[in-house]
Amino acid sequence: RPGVMQRLGLGYEVVCRDNPGIVYCSISGYGQTGPDWQLPAFEAILQAASGVMSINGEEGGRPVRLGASLADFTAGIFAALSIVTALYARRDDGQGRCLDISLLEGQLALMSPFIVEHLLTGIVPVALGTASRSVLIRLYGRAWFEGRYMTFFKPVTVAALLATLVLIFAFQADN
């Protein structure tokens, strides 16, 4: 929970005074700053807020929570990758880093193909049961964009890739 380590006297500002090369990682529901930083974050809330529940379940049915704690797993993976990246950077410049990992941002990163699909086509992603989740297959099979039929090698592929990279780099820049 944001603020706990500061209250205990173990916040980044205090710890890095003794060790400026420390790699300090905080994981919280919505990040250490921003409008929702103090809100509690539970798996079901994060899956709903990110849209994950809206694409899970039977077609035409109500949103369904995933059985796995995807937000926790994703945040852990992003934290591990960020820590390794910070350690490599420290090897080059000697500087420590303060990493801020948000469970919600991890969920949004996983939703990026669906977000891109919606932004490019206006199609609102929905639960499809056991049907294919591949955005490219769905776009290849039935979507029109600016009067052109999209295929794997047309603008949607490049746009999806670029949007995903932008989300990743934005996530890294915040940390």
Q: What residues are annotated to the active site?
A: 72
Residue 137: name the closest of 127, 126, 149, 152 by CA: 152
What is the torsion angle, in degrees rounded to the nearest 10, for the CA atoms of residue 135, residue 140, residue 143 and residue 147? 130
Can you tell me which residue has the tokens 């077609």?
Answer: 59
Q: Which two tokens stand for residue 41?
A: 């974050």
What is the sign of the dihedral through the CA atoms of 4, 6, 10 and 15? positive
Can you tell me which residue has the tokens 């994950």?
Answer: 52
**In angstroms, rounded to a whole number, what is the distance separating the alpha carbons of residues 160 and 115?**
9
Q: Which two tokens stand for residue 151?
A: 């295929």
Segments in 66-125 forming alpha helices (H): 70-93, 103-110, 112-121
Q: How far is CA 85 from the centre of its chain?
A: 17
